[in-house]
Structure 1
Amino acid sequence: MTGAVELRGVTKRYGAAEAVRDVSFTLASGAVALVGHNGAGKTTLMKLMLGLIRANAGSVQVLGENPAAGEFAARRRLGYLPENVSFNGALTGRETLSFYARLKRAPETASLRLLERVGLGEASHRRVGTYSKGMRQRLGLAQALIGEPEVLLLDEPTTGLDPALRLAFYDIVRELAGRGATVLLSSHALSELEDRADRVIIMDRGRMAASGSLEELRRVARLPVRIRIRPGSEAPVLLAGLATARRLPCGALEVEVADHRKVAVLRALLCAGSPPEDIDVLSPTLDDLYAHFLRDREPAA
């Protein structure tokens, strides 16, 4: 299998510390969530893909090239947003984006239109030094999008963005992925990524703990499904025999059942003489899966 990004047995050490240990994966088109705690190796992986650092072992290929090679022509087809953006405060937003467009040899007119797209049109002639943290983050996002990159690496991209701009940001991600780009999103905001990533890679202390679509990870984890109801008169009786049944502060009842039993439980509830007023079926979230795959990790050496 080939993809825009391919890692094979990659290890990166800093002295005696292993930031990344024997990691292998292939990224094709679509949106991929890279999740893990601080120090899990997410930023190190991105730096390896950008060619900013070299692996001690294994191979890294991005758009068919070794990014650590002296001449990495594919860099112009990459977009990168670091976790902490930093720009020359004396330049305006427009001057900053023009500078990066020239570096990537991308059309300036099209690049400057990105300022409108990230909500900086009216502030484009202001000096970056007057921008708020959220505005600088938006400028960083515009910079990463210059040239319609084929591979887009985004490290904590929605930090400092208000809810409306977060939605607009994910619209951009969906559009790029729909055109065939590979978008890698590293974030601690797991709930944001849950319905927006085609695939999830979970990192744990430099190792890849799990990888797959949300449904694939749910099948592997085999976590229970939660059924939440506003009960009719017979529902409490039906649920009483289930050890996990509990009443929530809002008055609803919640029960955990194995995924293969949820249909039987729902059928029993709906066919009761007094069916529930409302039912919600809650599958394990990305937060639940993340906690599961890290719960049984072996102690650090």
Structure 2
Amino acid sequence: MKAAIKIEGVTKRYGSAEAVREVSFALSPGAVALVGHNGAGKTTLMKLMLGLVRPSSGTVSVLGENPAAGQFAARRRLGYLPENVSFNAALTGRETLAFYARLKGEPVARTLDLLDKVGLSAAGARRVGTYSKGMRQRLGLAQALIGEPQVLLLDEPTTGLDPALRLSFYEIVHDLGQRGATVLLSSHALSELEERAERVIIMDHGRMVADGSIDELRRIARLPVRFRVRPRAMPLSLPQGLGPVRPASAGWLDFEVDADRKIEALQALVCGGAPAEDLEVIPPTLDDLYAHFLRHQEPAA
């Protein structure tokens, strides 16, 4: 499948500081999570893809074009939601979307339907200055969706959204990915991304320290699997080397095993002399993987 975005050996310097250092990856249709602490290089990468800044070295290609070129026609097929959205407070929600639709050369009437998609149809006639932070975030998402973009860059997109609207947002992202769009999500909300991103890129101090699906990252990290067990009888009987067992919530016990001993532990708990009354198997989370790759990266030269 042809990559919509190609980053090859890209470094971006601001004076002596390297915001991005020797980063390479290619993005195909689907949802990709870009994660890292503040200053890891996530926003700089998005600015490079948008053509807002030029790489100090390396190449950037978006939909087959160089975004830093004078005529970046592919920009009309891009959608972007910055971390901090800002609109003219004197305009209404409808007027704001109409303004951005004209900038992109899209039909205004069809664009205004996006207000309903993000739950703002009832507030479309209100001035943006009266909107809450969550409402401005939804308006920003509607702006990013104008023209059904082939590439959608979203920087902290769910900030200020309530749980129901977050769910609706990820349904929109999933639908876009199914229709062939490439969606790049930069967020600190790792638990939200875990089940929704097909791929995760982890950044640290401008360097890419991990890249792959959640399952691939788990295989690379080889972190232990956590078991939470409600035993029928005590003491809990486990094969030698599994444990140690420690109390969790009332009536439950926790222990960890290496990933390659997960089946052995399950067999002991289900088929042993005193089977467990209930159990949960908890694989390493994205938070666990993120912490692992930051701890175990190679030191910078």
SS, match of residue 201 in structure 1: strand
Cα deviation 1:38-88 (Å, max 9, x = unaligned): 000000000000000000000000000000000000000000000000000
Cα deviation 1:170-215 (Å, max 9, x = unaligned): 0000000000100000000000000000000000100000000000
Are the structure 2 counterparts of residues 212 and 298 from structure 1 closer, same or farther at C-alpha, using a change threshold of 3 Å? closer
Partner of 1:69: 69
Partner of 1:107: 107
Partner of 2:17: 17
SS, match of residue 172 in structure 2: helix
Q: TM-score w.r.t. structure 1 length?
A: 0.97
Cα deviation 1:229-261 (Å, max 9, x = unaligned): 101115613378634321113321111001111
SS, match of residue 115 in structure 1: helix
Aligned AA for 1:226? R
Partner of 2:215: 215
**Larger deviation, residues 102-111 vs 10-19:** 102-111
CA distance in 1, matches of 2:248, 2:194: 24
Partner of 2:251: 251
Contact 1:239-1:255 at 8 Å conserved across structures: no
Aligned AA for 1:6? K
Consecutive unaligned residues of structure 1, counting only runs of 5 or more, are none
Cα deviation 1:8-46 (Å, max 9, x = unaligned): 000000000000000000000000000000000000000
Partner of 1:136: 136
CA distance in 2, matches of 1:183, 1:288: 24
CA distance in 2, matches of 1:286, 1:55: 30
CA distance in 1, matches of 2:66, 2:194: 31
Partner of 2:237: 237
SS, match of residue 293 in structure 2: helix
Q: How does 1:35-114 map to 2 (within 5 A)?
A: 35-114=35-114
Contact 1:2-1:26 at 8 Å conserved across structures: no
SS, match of residue 111 in structure 1: helix
Aligned AA for 2:29? S
Following TM superposition, by how much is the alpha carbon of 1:168 offset from its aligned partner in structure 2, in angstroms? 0.2
Contact 2:18-2:206 at 8 Å conserved across structures: yes
Aligned AA for 2:63? L
Contact 2:92-2:124 at 8 Å conserved across structures: yes
CA distance in 2, matches of 1:153, 1:91: 25
**Larger deviation, residues 228-237 vs 121-130:** 228-237
SS, match of residue 122 in structure 1: helix
Q: How many aligned positions are there?
A: 301
Consecutive unaligned residues of structure 2, counting only runs of 5 or more, are none
Following TM superposition, by how much is the alpha carbon of 1:299 offset from its aligned partner in structure 2, in angstroms? 5.9
Contact 1:11-1:21 at 8 Å conserved across structures: yes
SS, match of residue 217 in structure 1: helix
CA distance in 1, matches of 2:235, 2:22: 51
Partner of 2:188: 188
Partner of 1:199: 199
4+ residue runs of structure 1 moved beyond 3 angstroms?
A: 239-243, 297-301
SS, match of residue 227 in structure 1: strand
Q: How does 1:160-175 map to 2 (within 5 A)?
A: 160-175=160-175
Aligned AA for 2:207? R
Partner of 2:32: 32
RMSD, matched Cα: 1.4
Aligned AA for 1:285? T
CA distance in 2, matches of 1:275, 1:237: 9
User: What fraction of aligned residue pairs are identical, expressed as a percent?
Assistant: 72
Contact 2:237-2:274 at 8 Å conserved across structures: no
CA distance in 2, matches of 1:234, 1:270: 15
Contact 2:11-2:21 at 8 Å conserved across structures: yes
SS, match of residue 95 in structure 1: helix
Following TM superposition, by how much is the alpha carbon of 1:277 offset from its aligned partner in structure 2, in angstroms? 1.2
Are the structure 2 counterparts of residues 2 and 58 from structure 1 closer, same or farther at C-alpha, using a change threshold of 3 Å? farther
SS, match of residue 226 in structure 2: strand
Cα deviation 1:250-292 (Å, max 9, x = unaligned): 3211110011111011101111233111111000000000000
